[in-house]
């Protein structure tokens, strides 16, 4: 796997390079600002981009803007965004830019090497990974009177784990149920959220978007 990193902190940038290298993943470019990142993606055409949300000059959303620009160049480019804080708008904007192959993690997750590398590989494989803390905060502010309120407690648990990027197998293991039971719950979630089968829609991603309140 070939990765481009965009992170303005030299220390964290070098740390990411080392972590990826230890995991057998090659970093083909590591830059400190959005324009350099987009150019690196254009030249290197990586298998995955790891991008900080906030970069120079304003340290607001340059990284996210660069990630979206990079996906315009390479529409199928998997992107894993790192953020210092929970910023739900940035998470949902990136997820809404394409079906799958996106991730949003808090930087503190990098300290758990196994978890970080799992997220990298999941996003590179086309998955959607949302930091558990984002899921918790969104759940805490859910408004009443929405389709999500019709979900059972177990369906809500399953959807939360889907939002974390977990596969059906992983969800089954976490909840101590069979994969068949998980599939049944997911079918129920799709039905209650009005997500009918369609050739051009990725219902799993649409369900996560609904969960985050931006579907």
Q: Which tens digits make up the pLDDT trace of 78-102? A: 999 898 876 666 666 666 655 568 8
Q: How far apart are CA 131 and CA 24, in angstroms?
A: 23
Nearest to 161 by CA among 195, 129, 119: 129
Q: Which tens digits make up the pLDDT trace of 134-149? A: 766 655 555 444 667 7
pTM beyond 0.85: no
CATH code of the domain made up of 142-211: 1.10.10.10
- Domain 2-131 belongs to what topology? Rossmann fold (3.40.50)
CA distances from residue 139 to 93, 147, 148, 156, 157 in whole angstroms, order as listed: 18, 14, 10, 9, 11
Q: Which tens digits make up the pLDDT trace of 96-109? A: 655 568 888 888 88
Where are the chain's structural domains? 2-131, 142-211
Q: Using CB atoms within 10 A of its CB, is residue 198 exposed (0-12), middle (13-18) or buried (19+)?
A: exposed
């Amino acid at each position: 796997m070939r990765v481009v990193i965009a992170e303005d902190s030299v220390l964290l940038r070098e740390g990411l390079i080392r972590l990826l290298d230890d995991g057998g993943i090659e970093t083909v470019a590591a830059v400190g600002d959005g324009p350099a990142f987009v150019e690196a993606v254009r030249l290197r055409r990586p298998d995955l981009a790891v991008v900080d949300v906030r970069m120079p000059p304003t340290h607001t959303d340059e990284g996210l803007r660069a990630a979206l620009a990079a996906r315009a160049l390479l529409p199928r480019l998997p992107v894993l965004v790192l953020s210092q804080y929970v910023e739900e708008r940035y998470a949902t904007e990136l997820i809404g830019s394409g079906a799958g192959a996106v991730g949003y993690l808090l930087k503190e997750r990098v300290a758990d090497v196994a978890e970080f590398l799992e997220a990298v590989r999941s996003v590179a494989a086309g998955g959607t990974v949302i930091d558990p803390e984002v899921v918790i905060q969104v759940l805490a502010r859910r408004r009443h009177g929405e389709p999500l309120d019709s979900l059972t407690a177990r369906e809500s648990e399953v959807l939360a784990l889907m939002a974390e990027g977990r596969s059906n197998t992983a969800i089954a293991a976490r909840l101590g149920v069979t994969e068949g039971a998980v599939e049944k719950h997911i079918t129920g979630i799709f039905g209650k959220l009005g997500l009918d089968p369609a050739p051009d829609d990725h219902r799993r991603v649409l369900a996560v978007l609904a969960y985050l309140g931006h579907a």
